[in-house]
Amino acid sequence: MKELWESRKKLVESHLEKELREAAPLDKTLEEAMAYSLLAGGKRLRPILLMAAADAVGTDGTRFITTGCAIEMIHTYSLIHDDLPAMDNDDYRRGKLTNHKVYGAGMATLAGDALLTLSFEVMLRQQGVSDAVRLAVVREMSQAAGRDGMVGGQAIDLESEGQEIPLERLRQMHLGKTGALFRAAIRSGALLAGAKTEQLAALTRYAEAFGLAFQITDDILDVTGDEATIGKPIGSDERNHKSTYVTLLSLERAQRLAEETVAQGIAALQPFGDEADFLRELLRSLLGRKQ
């Protein structure tokens, strides 16, 4: 898994800059701010999941690297905005100063806006699929990024600061804020690869389990992680008085829930053979996350 992860991560890195530089910038500072965060490294998990879902359906996922780059742009935009003073007010991301610490809150906001809108232009550059499939992917991504996805989840997060919220409300928040983009990445990979109805349904169940397991382990890392390894300060949830799976359930119960969720996600892949082994290993690896 590690070798495949690294090779695909390098593929994403090489294509991201190409997609970013496709057109001459109207403003050089804006382009620098976009590149500062987009090219800052990271796991590149969402494009890797997109490609792995296509692999599971029986198609070489690297054919869809263009759409993978687009989803990484959406993810990066969300990180820039999450870190802003009006949101989580974080100083570091991926081991570097956050975008607004370097370029100011105004330019950082614009850099995030520009990455989000550029992502849809990039999606429409995807070759080797029909217009109908491109449009289906755009619909998946726009729903995941917007009111009923990341933005909606972030709104719940803002409104919930300083108070304890019910577990179901926490789940709704993270289905939007974190899970929606994972779901879109996996479903988009399946759609691009021509998945059958039952394959898409199975991968959707897997995606929902992946998103939940990722968020639970993220909450655990905020308590148990190492700041140098994670690349951002730990304990930010506690400082911002946020409800998490750890604060609502306890560390031990959160760990058990993560294990149960991983098992559910593995079970969802039962219709697939060896071609889905990478997805299985990715999900299992969340239980041992260090970053």
Of the candidate ranges 38-47, 139-148, 162-171, the one whose mean pLDDT is the lowest = 162-171
Could you identify the residue written with the tokens 């890195």?
13
The pLDDT value given to residue 229? 54
pTM value is 0.92
* C-alpha to C-alpha distance for 7 and 14, rounded to whole angstroms: 11
Quickly list DSSP for 228-261: HHHSS-S-HHHHTT---HHHHH-HHHHHHHHHHH
Give per-residue pLDDT as tens, 278-290.
Answer: 999 999 999 987 7
The Cα–Cα gap between 220 and 270 comes to: 28
Q: Is 148 helix (H, G, I), strand (E, B) or coil?
A: coil
Summarised one tens digit per residue, pLDDT across range 219-231 is: 999 888 666 555 5
Q: What is the overall mean pLDDT for the chain?
A: 92
Q: What is the pLDDT of residue 232?
A: 53
Q: How far apart are CA 175 and CA 263, in angstroms?
A: 18
Task: Give the pLDDT score at 228.
Answer: 56
Structure tokens at 52: 């792995």
Q: How far are the Cα atoms of 32, 173, 180 from residue 177, in angstroms, in the given order? A: 26, 6, 7
Domains and CATH numbers, the chain: 2-288 (1.10.600.10)
Q: What is the pLDDT of residues 146-199, one digit of tens each?
A: 999 999 999 998 898 888 899 999 999 999 999 999 999 999 999 999 999 999
